[in-house]
Amino acid sequence: MTRPRSPLSIRIAADLQRFEELKDALTQIEYFSKGTVLARMVKCGRPKCLCGVNPRKRHGPYFEWTYKENGKTVNVRLTAEAAPIFQSAAKQYRALKTTLARLEKLSRQAITRLAKEVDSKPRS
The pLDDT of 23-35, averaged and rounded, is 94
Classified as helix, coil or strand, 72 is: strand
The residues spanned by each domain of the chain are 7-120
C-alpha–C-alpha distance, residues 116 and 118, integer Å:
5
The pLDDT of 74-78, averaged and rounded, is 97
Contact 60, 42 (CB under 8 A): yes
pLDDT at 22 over 80: yes
C-alpha–C-alpha distance, residues 34 and 67, integer Å:
6
C-alpha–C-alpha distance, residues 87 and 71, integer Å:
22
pLDDT at 4 over 70: no
Half-sphere exposure of 12 (CA within 13 A, CB side): 13
Q: What are phi and psi of 33, to 5 degrees?
A: -160, 140
Half-sphere exposure of 59 (CA within 13 A, CB side): 8
Contact 83, 37 (CB under 8 A): yes
pLDDT, mean over the chain: 90
pLDDT at 3 over 70: no
Confidence band, pLDDT 50/70/90 cuts, at residue 2: low
Give the per-residue pLDDT at 45. 87
